Amino acid sequence: MLDLSNIPVIDQVGVEERIARLNSRSIKKESKLQGLHLALSMIDLTTLEGKDTAGKVRQMCYKAMHPADDIPGLPTVAAVCVYPNHVKTAKTALGNSGINVASVATAFPSGNSSLKVKLADTKLAIDNGADEIDMVISRGEFLSGNSKFVYDEIATIKEACGNARLKVIFETGELSTLDNIRLVSEIAMQAGADFIKTSTGKIQPAATMPVTLVMLHAIKDYHEKTGKMVGMKPAGGISTSKQALQYLVMLYETLGGAWMTNEWFRFGASSLANDILLQLHKEQSGVYYSGDYISKD
Amino acid sequence: MTRIAVLKTYKLFIGGAFPRTESGRYYKIQNKANETIANVGLSSRKDFRNAVVAVRKAQDAWQGRAAFNKSQIIYRIAEILEGRKVQFVEELISQGSTKASAEKEVQMSIDRCVYYSGWCDKYQAIYSSVNPVATSHFNFSVPEPMGVVSIIASDETSLLGFISALLPCIVGGNTCIVLASSSKPLSAITFAEVLATSDVPAGIINILTGKEKELHTHFSNHMDVNAVVYCRTDKAIWKTIAQNASLNIKRSFWWNKDWAKSESENPYLIMDLQEIKTTWHPIENIGVSGAKY
Amino acid sequence: MAKKIKEQVQPFTWSYAPALESKDHIQLKQQYELFINGRFVKPNSGKYFDTINPSTEQVIAKVADANPKDVDSAMMAAKNAYDKTWSKISAKERGKYIFRIARIIQERAREFAVIESIDGGKPIRESRDIDIPLAANHFFYYAGWADKLQYAFPNQQIKPHGVAAQIIPWNFPLLMAAWKIAPALATGNTVVLKPAETTPLTAMKLAEVMQEADLPPGVVNIISGQKATGAAMVQHPIPNKIAFTGSTAVGKWIQNEIAGTDKKLSLELGGKGANIIFADAALDQAIEGIINGIFFNQGHVCCAGSRLFVQESVADIVVKKLKQRMETLIIGDPLDKQTDIGAINSKVQLDKINHYIKLGIKEEASMYQSSCALPSKGFFCKPTLFMHTSQSHRIVQEEIFGPVLAIQTFRTIEEVIEKANNIPYGLSAGVWTDKGSKIFNLTQKLKAGVVWANTFNKFDPASPFGGYKESGFGREGGVHGLAAYLQQF
């Protein structure tokens, strides 16, 4: 049963002050290395373009498994994220690497379709072997006050996911206020989301720190109340190592060490991995690197 | 046989009532011909204490009244004074004023009520500020009454000085205990009768009679008094008052003024008895600060 | 093939590597003299005292101890400068000097920040992001007032007092110097300022700024010293204006001391601010407000939100969140950019705080301290909560001036207003609720000079600051801050 009582309000200025303070942490030396390795392991390497092809997906999958073979001891990314029709290609390419295949579904990115189509979309991805489903919510319904609709839709998709983990995308750039974001987080978690996710990457602004912090607080409160852990995935707009470390500091100081794993935190990003590799090269060699030394797939 | 005049007993004015002094002591007020015209109470420390209790009780409600309403109440004082002008003039004459100066003093006193009645809902606008802080906050500062004020009113101008000191105090939402002129206390007590029959809430103005030398210590060292105003001329007494004020960081003011002068009525006297309160609140700034989410 | 790290069992621990602010660029002398009449002069007393780094307990420098004769020369210099130069130059030029001072502070901001942290123990994050920028901004703000004063006092004649004697505390050494000097100069006064004995260094560096700005000699005089120095300043016949920030006890002494004289006084004294959390507040932001309210600057803040009132229905969750948030606070080297809570300013202050912590335990309030380790050297104190307290507890009534928070619960608005005002102080208060009309109900009824609604411990040069009741009188900052430095008639 959807219960939306006692959901705290959010003060935007207070959130931004907290972010400013978190960002004043200075992550250097071994703590930076540790953070960069972790961030790399949390990436959902993503391609979600109309022009995606099997060839493109296979190249990305190789990159996912071999981020930089010249740096020893690197983790792989957590997952690759593709459209449902490319799941099979990705699944094959990744073999038994342990890297998950995540698929967007439910009429991504707008979510404007019938439940029937959304279920079929989800089923296609699952049948093709997706380990994770990234669904979008119906923002129109949410903004018109129809929380129950959003809740039911998520719950239905969750059921269709079977063993696959469900990430619920809010498209926070369309939701207008932090109060809305706090509310929709609650709806999604109660409906069974395994992860809550900020954005599709198709709408600006995508992930931001204030939005992510509000969602982390929602996860924390939900965990306090139910004992259930829910994961967090900021997606879109996080392209630098510095940003990634700031998100990790925020995660660490809000939810603690238990969430500091790709089991519970992901970055939805396409170019972040290479910036992390640039930084790791620099840490290894002591000189600043050029993009020419990093593979671009 | 000539008729025996009925001599009025001038009592104190505390909490809207007219009690006798707790001290049980009186002093005589005489006219120029050395005839006793009245017995007046010599207020004690205990009278002052009772007055503080009464005034503290009245403070919040008076402070909370709408400024417009305060203005009407003070204008009403002027109206009633106007109607009882003759009595005040006679009283001043009996205490040694010439007719001309008595009439002038009463007129000025009434006009001063009108003047300050107009300030009730205006000084805040002039002395408030919206402060342009650098962070995303709405920040404003407004005057607020200090609270309970003890006033030792002028000895000389017994009606005008009395009114001129208490008006800036109550116009600003404060409440007060006033020591009336010691040598000419009658006008103040008659003024209390005006108050009692006007719309002034009980307790916001309390009037004691007596000697400043006996009372200035109590007026200045009571810990439940927020500010003390001295309107007489004795430097030694002023020093003691200022020293005693330090017991509770009381605000102390020496209004050593010629109340007949027009510049002796001004809003800065109201502001002497105001605190400035600054309030902050965040401003959500989705649009201004750019794409935040 | 690269390995996955998916199968972690142990929760990840991440200890941030120290990020020490460099000390290379700062220049400190081994001995500081008095700054009188534009020059650094040896004290007539011949005496010096040590100023130490509270995070290492090591001596940083020796500082001159001004005696009454030194005070006299500083006052004479200020009087002379007032009569001969400062009152003669145009308001516009006066303003330009102050602008210049502001700029130089900005240019030397990093140096000031490091010295502030070394001498006073506050974390570099705060000295760098708050103290020093605000100090520069304060000079900027008041510089602009110098030639516009009449607009602030309609229908009034205004005149500077002449010489202002200013005594400042150790919790915000440079910022308090700016709060004092900037409005005094803008309104045309000259100044003799005494920094606190445990934190004189940035004031002495500020004296260098005055030289660098070519301020006419004697307009600002800065004399280090101890209690007796301050007393001599208050008792000196020259200054017509005394401005003091510090303890209520000393404030009372000053008010008593100058009673009956023509000296004007402004006092910014102690506090025991109520920070009130309603059930409908933005709780996660309120937690930050509580943290900022009591642990900012190690709790050495006169307007600290040291009495927390939480509505009963959310008391458990608020306390739980608060404890969790406290665990993320980093206590340690003030020069480490990671540090949230630095060193307690002095041994004396640490003893006082510890005395109150013991008292709280004795009063049977339940105590919680964050589990952080404290450095082995230096004066440090764990962030501390006392729960289940009441207005009758002494730890609730008395100003501790440290990272110690007393928590009470309440049920109704009337109750919390009464309790919040039930204290002789009246400097600050905080209100956290989502309901606008409730905010205005409280902000009107709380007897405090500064009320923060849905925020706490915010400062700005344009915003008047000062207390009700025993927290002092007069305002600093904003247009209202001008009045304290002008005679009006």
Higher pLDDT, B285 or B109: B109
Q: State the Cα–Cα distance between residues C330 and C16, nearest whole angstrom.
A: 10
Query: A13–B136: do the CB atoms touch at under 8 Å?
Result: yes
B291: nearest CB among A16, A177, A204: A204
Contact by Cβ (8 Å): C173, C297: no
Residue B290 has pLDDT above 50, yes or no: no
**What are the chain C neighbours of B277 within 8 Å (beta carbons)?**
443, 448-451, 468
Q: Mutation target for A interface from C9, C10, C16, C322: give the one with most A CBs within 10 A.
A: C16
Q: What is the per-residue burial (b if ≥16 Cβ within 10 Å, else e) of C36-59?
A: bbbebbebbbeebeebbbbbbeee
Token code pair at residue B103: 């009439």
Q: What is the pLDDT of residue C1?
A: 39
Q: Mutation target for A interface from C9, C284, C318, C452: give the one with most A CBs within 10 A.
A: C284
Q: Write the pLDDT tens digit of every residue in B180-209.
A: 999 999 999 999 999 999 999 999 999 999
User: From the CA of B131, how many Å to the nearest CA of chain C?
Assistant: 6
CB of B292 within 8 Å of any CB in chain C?
A: no
Contact by Cβ (8 Å): C421, B248: no
Average pLDDT over residues B44-50: 97
Q: What is the pLDDT of residue B1?
A: 64
* ipTM exceeds 0.90: yes
Given C126, C302, C399, C470, the catalytic residue: C302
**What are the chain B neighbours of A173 within 8 Å (beta carbons)?**
293
Given C21, C268, C363, C476, the catalytic residue: C268
Q: What is the pLDDT of residue B287?
A: 46
How distant, in Å, are the alpha carbons of B73, B79, B88, B162 from that of B83? Answer: 16, 7, 10, 19
Nearest CA in chain C to A28: C17
Share of chain A above pLDDT 70, in %: 100
The identity of residue C454, as a single letter, is: N
Q: Mutation target for B interface from C266, C458, C488: give the one with most B CBs within 10 A.
A: C458
At C459, is the secondary structure helix, strand, or coil? coil
Asked which of A24-33, B283-292, C421-430 is least confident by mean pLDDT, the reply is B283-292
According to CATH, the topology of domain C31-268 is Aldehyde Dehydrogenase; Chain A, domain 1 (3.40.605)
**What are the chain A neighbours of C328 within 8 Å (beta carbons)?**
253
Q: Mutation target for C interface from B277, B283, B285: give the one with most C CBs within 10 A.
A: B277
Burial class from Cβ neighbours inside 10 Å (0-12, 13-18, 19+) for residue A154 reads buried
Cis amide prior to A109 (ω within 30 degrees): yes
Reported as a pLDDT band with limits 50, 70 and 90, residue B292 is very low
C211 sits in which H/E element:
helix C201-212
The HSE-up count of residue B116 (CA atoms within 13 Å, CB side) is 31
Q: What is the per-residue burial (b if ≥16 Cβ within 10 Å, else e) of A67-92?
A: bbeeeeebbbbbbbbbbbebbbbbbe
Token code pair at residue A126: 């699952």
CB of B286 within 8 Å of any CB in chain A?
A: yes
CATH top class, domain B9-282? alpha beta
Q: What is the pLDDT of residue C65?
A: 98
Contact by Cβ (8 Å): A147, A189: no
Parts of chain C with a pLDDT under 50: 1-5, 8
Query: How many separate helices (H) and strands (E) can be counted in chain A?
Result: 11, 8
Q: State the Cα–Cα distance between residues A61 and A55, nearest whole angstrom.
A: 10
Contacts of A194 (CB under 8 A, 6+ apart): A165, A166, A167, A230, A231
The catalytic residue positions of A are 134, 197, 233
Q: Which CATH number is correct for A12-293, 3.20.20.10, 3.20.20.70, 3.40.930.10, 3.65.10.10?
A: 3.20.20.70
Share of chain A above pLDDT 90, in %: 92
The residues on C that touch A, with CB distances below 8 Å, are 1-6, 8, 11-17, 19, 125, 129, 280-286, 288-289, 317, 320, 328, 337-338, 434, 454-455
At C62, is the secondary structure helix, strand, or coil? strand
Query: C480–B134: do the CB atoms touch at under 8 Å?
Result: no
Contact by Cβ (8 Å): C119, C131: no
The DSSP secondary-structure symbol of C483 reads: G
Residue B5 has pLDDT above 80, yes or no: no
The DSSP secondary-structure symbol of C82 reads: I
Query: C2–A66: do the CB atoms touch at under 8 Å?
Result: yes
Chains with 3+ CB–CB pairs under 8 A to C are A, B
User: From the CA of B203, how many Å to the nearest CA of chain A?
Assistant: 43
Query: C259–B247: do the CB atoms touch at under 8 Å?
Result: no
Query: B293–A11: do the CB atoms touch at under 8 Å?
Result: no
Query: B285–A210: do the CB atoms touch at under 8 Å?
Result: no
- Chain B to chain C Cβ contacts (< 8 Å): 114
C462: nearest CB among B133, B146, B277: B133
Contact by Cβ (8 Å): C384, C368: yes
Q: State the Cα–Cα distance between residues C395 and C299, nearest whole angstrom.
A: 14
Q: State the Cα–Cα distance between residues C398 and A260, nearest whole angstrom.
A: 42
Contacts of B20 (CB under 8 A, 6+ apart): B11, B12, B41
Average pLDDT over residues A100-116: 97
Contact by Cβ (8 Å): A95, C30: no
Q: List alpha helices for C48-172, DSSP H.
A: 68-81, 91-107, 109-120, 124-126, 132-143
Q: What is the pLDDT of residue B31?
A: 86
Domain boundaries, given as residue ranges, for chain A: 12-293
**What are the chain C neighbours of A21 within 8 Å (beta carbons)?**
288
Contact by Cβ (8 Å): C201, C51: yes
**What are the chain A neighbours of B285 within 8 Å (beta carbons)?**
12-13
Reported as a pLDDT band with limits 50, 70 and 90, residue B286 is low
Residue B57 has pLDDT above 60, yes or no: yes
Average pLDDT over residues A136-162: 97
Q: What is the pLDDT of residue C12?
A: 87
List the end-to-end C-alpha distance of chain C, in Å, as a whole number.
Answer: 85
B292: nearest CB among A14, A175, A208: A208
Cis amide prior to C383 (ω within 30 degrees): no
Query: B141–C480: do the CB atoms touch at under 8 Å?
Result: yes
Architecture of domain C274-453: 3-Layer(aba) Sandwich (3.40)
Query: C284–A10: do the CB atoms touch at under 8 Å?
Result: yes
Query: C4–A76: do the CB atoms touch at under 8 Å?
Result: yes
What's the mean pLDDT when you consider all of chain B?
Answer: 94
Query: B291–A16: do the CB atoms touch at under 8 Å?
Result: no
Alpha carbon B94 to chain centroid, angstroms: 24
Contact by Cβ (8 Å): B58, B204: yes
Q: What is the per-residue burial (b if ≥16 Cβ within 10 Å, else e) of A164-192?
A: bbbbbbbbbbbbebbbbbbbbbbbbbbbb
Nearest CA in chain A to B290: A205
Residue A257 has pLDDT above 60, yes or no: yes
Q: What is the pLDDT of residue A297?
A: 80
Residues in B 245-284 with any Cβ partner in A closer than 8 A: 282-284
Burial class from Cβ neighbours inside 10 Å (0-12, 13-18, 19+) for residue B231 reads buried
Instruction: For strands B137-145 and B274-282, give the pairing.
Output: antiparallel
